[in-house]
Structure 1
Amino acid sequence: MQKSTFPWRALIRVTTVFAASLALTACASFSQDGGFGSVDQLTQARIGHSPSDQRTAEQSSAAAVRVAELLKLPLSADSAVEVALLGNRGLQADYAALGLAEADRVSAGRLANPSIRFGRLSGHGGVEVDRAVLFNVLGWLTMPWAQAIEQGRFEQAQWQAAADTLAVAAQARKAFFEAVASQQLVGYHAQVMLAAEASNELAQRMVQAGNFNALAQMREQSFHSDARINLARAQHQAVAAREQLIRAIGWAGDPLAIQLPERLPDLPGTPLALKDAVQLALDTRLDVLMAKRSTEVLARALGLGQATRFINVLHLGYQNKSATGESLSRGFEVELELPLFDFGTARTARAEALYMQSVHRTAEMALRARSEVREKSSAYQTAYELARHYRDEVVPLRRRISEENLLRYNGMLASVFDLLADSKDQIAGVVGAVESLRDFWLAETQLQTAMVGGSPTGSSGVGVARAAGASTAAGH
């Protein structure tokens, strides 16, 4: 009986040949920063802040120390963004997609592991042994295309991570302005409440003294009731806005540790110059860039699908066979899927349909980007004009009216109720000024996001590229 020894030397020779071929094709390895350097550059160029990729305990600890330093002082819009980029855990979860995309890229640059087949039959005093080692030749031949496709997807993942970062930054800025404005409005509504209480108490005393009619007293009482309701609503809104800010920046500590400034930032002297804002959006908006890149990846995937649509599986390998009483026989083995029922037309048609879908979505996204920038530009200009009107016209006019009423009261030409009514009007004007200033900063944030980040409901097209890859390159 012949000894059934596995041909390790032949296996080593074949493996060496394919390993050398792979080394000549490409050397796929993981990057040192996991692709986060591009995310940092994309983010820095658009908002001036660096994101934080916290993959180790040391990085997380350093981020926590920096957050503690920032929270020692009252927050500003910029520091709120920095805290959010350091502490938002959802953003860190989004960054994990980079690791998934890089793993796919590295995997595409490595030859699939060979498979070994071993069979042994015995009977009637004899033994037959069949051995083979197979390599995925088609995967090796199409490796450059597969690498290019996965590289494109990896770049898309980097852009998506940057887009997620910009979205978190924009949300932090909006939450900051909402929280500060709500806190500021609580103070003004409290002043209205004090005036309403004084007016109501004075009216009741004058009714008791017979110097005031019941209808006028009920009007003061009604105003006092409305003031109480408005103050309660403003207090709840301040709590809700603060909690939204806490969620946006990812703060898990004591809510009272978040210090806010007493008032909103002042209106800038001049509005932003919006010349060429639409073209800037088309050149820098991440969702538009991702859609364009997705279409390019799909085109490359379609080319791979057309090149290999008649051959889906091709394995080549070394084989030998030994049997009792016979000499060892050697040869090779080719495993090929015959296109008898599926000629690859369905797979190619799917890729073509996905490509055209991506083309149309890219065109639609560019149209939406132009429209959104024009809309946000109009909202920004309008909010600026209204806030400036309150600052330069409404509030000074209310102040002059108040000073005139005080002079009339001192000259015994106006009653105390006239002064209280004027105080209500003046505070109402200040409330309107605060709300208009808040609306301006919100509009400014939305405009900046529309020019560099993208629509919060926009589709990046990454999922489309992955679907195409599944229909073209994955089977090869």
Structure 2
Amino acid sequence: MSLPLPWVVAALPARTAPPRLARPWPSAQRLGLALLLGGSLVGCATGPTPATGSVAELVQQHGGPGTAQWPAPAPTPQAQAEAVASLLAQPLDPDTAVRLALLNNPSLQVALAGLDVSAAQRQQMALLPNPGLGLGRVREGGQIEIERLLRIDLWGLLSLPWRLQWQDRQLALARLQTAQEVLRLSAEVRRAWVRAVAAQHQLRYSQQVLDAAEAGAELGRQMVKAGNWSRLQQAREQRALQDSQVQVARARLQAQASREQLIRLLGLDDGRALQLPEQLPEPPAQLLPEADFEAQALRERLDVRLAQDDYQALASQLGYTRVTGYVSAFELGLGYNTITEAGQRDSKRSVEIEVPLPLFDQGQARVARAEAQMRQAQARVREVAVLARSEARSRWQDWQTAWTLSRQLETEVLPLRRQITDETLLRYNGMLSSVWELLAEARQNAHSVSTAIEARRDFWLADTDLRLALSGTANTGPSGLANPLNRAPSPAASAAPNPAH
């Protein structure tokens, strides 16, 4: 809300006044009352809006979790714990894991609280600047003078529409930044879930391979004891057993590390209640048709949109900085003094206008900095566009290759290995091959199964990266792109009037 300048001028009293006033300056009273009332109306009309709703809609538009997947924040810690426990009652699928992270992840709560801070700053910017009231008492002999001075920041009133526009842009940039964090968190949770499930599956299978190796080593000892086998053959079986033990130790460490990463992203105190499925889902049977992924990334990625909006905000600030290079403050003072002496009372009124003289600082440095920041933002737009196109191509190739390898292993290699194992078992039952050939074939089959588990894991990781690269943001944003709310003050911000001036 802004007050038109003609209304303010019309409210000023005449410079001449009668020697006595029954009521001190009613026009000044009306002016102060109107300013206070206008400030209260602006304060009532504006306020921080809930952050979750606007961010959830923006995230849903860019392939993230829908609005229905965002759980309502629990009013008490006990209700929060109950909501978390209800989500952990069943083995987590990736969607439930993302929902739990949206409810319980501390870093996301920090980001949403930061968005509320930006909304509060927008509300503060919408308020009219408070007028200043000065009182003084001067005694000289028998003469007493009471001074009253009302100071009004007219520049704050005149620049209020621009300040609101500037703060609205900052709030929009904060929403984009928070939506980026939500998409990154969702992708990180999905990656951690994929790694944890795959590592758990790998550990169980490695343990089965270890059991088979222990059986082979025990059989080798018995064969050597009976004199039917050489020490060299026994040493080979012992080496296979030790290799299996090393693989189990590594798989156990990997399973623990990936599980802990998922626990951290879900915001859990411990992982005792965390349940995971037995294995990852199968990849889709058909490959998606190739599309113009570069154009989709440029059209839908949030970091591209953030860089463009940041450039537009700086371009609009440049015009304001040029205008305020000479005049950046304008104050009006209304004075009313009463003089009492020897039973007589007299009064006088005064009007003051304070404008800084641009003798030394004419805004050259602020304009130069604003122009440099605008060129910097323009370069960021191109940097982010190049990154988006490159990531879209790379992620599409990774996704396509991972799908091809996973399907080849599961539809061709593993069936072939099972056929070879079955044939070897038939030959063993027909006494055409030894038990050692059967054990060797089992080890080869175990290696193929382990490779297939890793290939399925790599596919779902590539699938998550592709979705994020096309409609979300970069995995690690470009080095030059930072949160606009955390960078150094812009020229327009430094030129904006201080309400407490």
TM tier, shorter chain?
over 0.9
The one-letter code sitting in structure 1 at the alignment partner of 2:294 is: V
The one-letter code sitting in structure 2 at the alignment partner of 1:104 is: Q
Match of 2:413 among 364, 370, 394: 394
Instruction: State the match for 2:60 in structure 1.
Output: 44
Aligned partner of residue 152 in structure 2, secondary structure: strand
Aligned partner of residue 368 in structure 2, secondary structure: helix
Moved more, 325-334 or 133-142: 325-334
User: Relative to structure 1, is the Cα distance of residues 272 and 472 closer, same or farther in structure 2, using a 3 angstrom cutoff?
Assistant: farther
CA–CA distance in structure 1, aligned partners of residues 488 and 497 of structure 2: 10
The one-letter code sitting in structure 2 at the alignment partner of 1:315 is: E
Question: Is 1:367 equivalent to 2:367 in the alignment?
Answer: no
Question: Is 1:278 equivalent to 2:294 in the alignment?
Answer: yes
TM normalised by structure 1 equals 0.92
Moved more, 141-150 or 345-354: 345-354
Q: CA deviation at 1:257?
A: 1.1
CA–CA distance in structure 1, aligned partners of residues 46 and 52 of structure 2: 15
CA RMSD of aligned residues (A): 2.6
The one-letter code sitting in structure 2 at the alignment partner of 1:374 is: R
* Cα shift readout 1:84-107 (whole Å, capped 9, x = no counterpart): 111112211110111111122122
TM normalised by structure 2 equals 0.88
Q: CA deviation at 1:73?
A: 1.2
Instruction: State the match for 1:29 in structure 2.
Output: 46
Alignment of 1:95-244 (within 5 A): 95-244=112-261
- The answer to whether the 8 Å contact 2:197/2:278 transfers is yes
Structure 1 regions of 5+ residues with no counterpart? none
* Cα shift readout 1:59-83 (whole Å, capped 9, x = no counterpart): x666544432221111111111111
Match of 1:57 among 75, 81, 84: 75
CA–CA distance in structure 1, aligned partners of residues 294 and 58 of structure 2: 19
CA–CA distance in structure 2, aligned partners of residues 3 and 124 of structure 1: 22
Percent identical: 39
The one-letter code sitting in structure 1 at the alignment partner of 2:319 is: G
CA–CA distance in structure 2, aligned partners of residues 5 and 421 of structure 1: 112
Match of 2:373 among 351, 354, 372: 354
- The answer to whether the 8 Å contact 1:321/1:330 transfers is yes
Instruction: State the match for 2:5 in structure 1.
Output: none
User: Relative to structure 1, is the Cα distance of residues 465 and 20 closer, same or farther in structure 2, using a 3 angstrom cutoff?
Assistant: farther
Q: CA deviation at 1:292?
A: 1.0
Instruction: State the match for 1:267 in structure 2.
Output: 283
- The answer to whether the 8 Å contact 2:332/2:351 transfers is yes
Aligned partner of residue 107 in structure 1, secondary structure: helix
CA–CA distance in structure 1, aligned partners of residues 271 and 229 of structure 2: 48
Instruction: State the match for 1:311 in structure 2.
Output: 327
Alignment of 1:325-340 (within 5 A): 325=341, 327-340=346-359
Instruction: State the match for 2:489 in structure 1.
Output: 467
User: Relative to structure 1, is the Cα distance of residues 382 and 455 closer, same or farther in structure 2, using a 3 angstrom cutoff?
Assistant: same
Structure 2 regions of 5+ residues with no counterpart? 1-18
CA–CA distance in structure 2, aligned partners of residues 451 and 174 of structure 1: 16
Matched residue pairs, number?
472
